Structure 1
């Protein structure tokens, strides 16, 4: 029996919204070597990026909230942990939103600065860009990954969704975490072919998972049957 169909469908839709907003939150101008000289001419990119990242906050938290009642019935402790990590991730998202307008301020100051001032602003800009990368691609991803490990642990045990989908989630989370550590230790930059390739399995899994939630929802029959088998097995052992 498929229960909580409306809740799971909304959760799946929020994943899709979050993925679209995530793509729009990328600001290509910030990836250019001399981006401070370009940022004023690409102010619209920065504004769209900030608004898109802000949209990701209710999308990511809403996803957890809509799934929480069904997950809590299966494992309250793990479901609370999943929700908690989503709230932590929302905090990092908000930090990312706040950082983006600061680039516009630096860009305007850079355009009016002399050579010495431009050099100082350039150093400050690099520090700010590094901070944004660490927030968005390390702290945020790791907090999401820890929460999603708990989510897929519940789903794997309960079989609310097929186990191959949960295993795919585990593998994708492992690769995404690896990509975050590569960024942390400056072994790769963000928005590079290597970084995108490592994150591609999780992105594809997230889309498939979202479609599953929208079209199929959670199947609680398997979980109930598993419990019945466990009880029967215990009774046979005790008997």
Structure 2
């Protein structure tokens, strides 16, 4: 297996690692109406969520880094932009990781406030602000950063035919759908855990799986790489 083929296979594997880690980073207790009373009893969920979200950082950035040397030969400006947006998304991931332990502190304070019948309402408002902020980071800022980067990625792939054009077109549509779902969350037209939000994000998620498997099994088009190198 040559260097380029190995790089695309690793990039595809990192997509799968990122998706699995993303699914495992969900903290169900935070989606419950009375999450502040539940969070202390579900400390393991919060810690696991932070751990798996932290795994997503090297997975998402590594995907771009492994593809960048090949993409740069096709279009350096677009490839650099793709890598830059991945680094921005990694920063938002890190913010999301940092926010999670704050819920544990808030949950402990809320339990003490309820026991003494003082300040619980204030902490409830603070909790909603924190939960809304986390949703905006994870499902708006992060997704839009990834989406903009993916538009640049699939622009390079479409022009170069490193992967079949139908896969690049699907990537364009998937990025657009993911970002549109984020804007719906931003403007309060839907919540994160709703059938609408999940339905809009289903095609992009399926595309990520197909792209990952393609990169692992097939890699980039060999004849295209040979032509570009010449």
TM-score by length of 2: 0.95
* Mapped contact 2:151–2:175 kept (Cα < 8 A): yes
Q: 2:142 and 2:28 mapped to 1: Cα distance?
A: 20
**Corresponding residue for residue 134 of structure 1:** 136
Moved over 3 A (4+): 222-228
- Structure 2 SS opposite 1:194: helix
> How does 1:35-114 map onto structure 2 within 5 Å?
35-113=35-113, 114=116
What is the deviation of 1:110? 0.6
**Corresponding residue for residue 237 of structure 1:** none
> How does 1:167-182 map onto structure 2 within 5 Å?
167-182=169-184
Instruction: Please tell me whether residue 219 in structure 1 is matched to residue 221 in structure 2.
Output: yes
- Structure 1 SS opposite 2:189: coil
What is the deviation of 1:193? 1.4
Q: 1:73 and 1:123 mapped to 2: Cα distance?
A: 51
* Mapped contact 1:3–1:218 kept (Cα < 8 A): no
> How does 1:112-151 map onto structure 2 within 5 Å?
112-113=112-113, 114-151=116-153
> How does 1:196-211 map onto structure 2 within 5 Å?
196-211=198-213
Q: 1:192 and 1:5 mapped to 2: Cα distance?
A: 39
**Corresponding residue for residue 236 of structure 1:** none
String of CA shifts for 1:92-142, please: whole Å, max 9, x gaps. Answer: 000000000000000011111033411110000000000000000000000
Q: 1:150 and 1:226 mapped to 2: Cα distance?
A: 19
Root mean square deviation of aligned Cα: 1.6
- Structure 2 SS opposite 1:72: helix
Count of residues in Structure 1 that have an aligned counterpart in Structure 2 = 227
* Mapped contact 1:159–1:223 kept (Cα < 8 A): no
Say which is worse superposed, 116-125 or 96-105, in terms of deviation. Answer: 116-125
- Structure 2 SS opposite 1:38: helix
- Structure 2 SS opposite 1:4: helix
Q: 1:76 and 1:226 mapped to 2: Cα distance?
A: 13
Structure 1 pair 226–73 and aligned structure 2 pair: CA distance change class (3 A) = closer
Larger-Rg structure = 1
String of CA shifts for 1:156-202, please: whole Å, max 9, x gaps. Answer: 00000000000001111111011000100111111221111100000
String of CA shifts for 1:37-61, please: whole Å, max 9, x gaps. Answer: 0001111110110000000000000
Q: 2:229 and 2:69 mapped to 1: Cα distance?
A: 19
What is the deviation of 1:223? 6.3
Unaligned runs of 5+ in 1: 229-239
**Corresponding residue for residue 25 of structure 2:** 25
String of CA shifts for 1:70-100, please: whole Å, max 9, x gaps. Answer: 0001000000000000000000000000000
Q: 1:115 and 1:221 mapped to 2: Cα distance?
A: 71
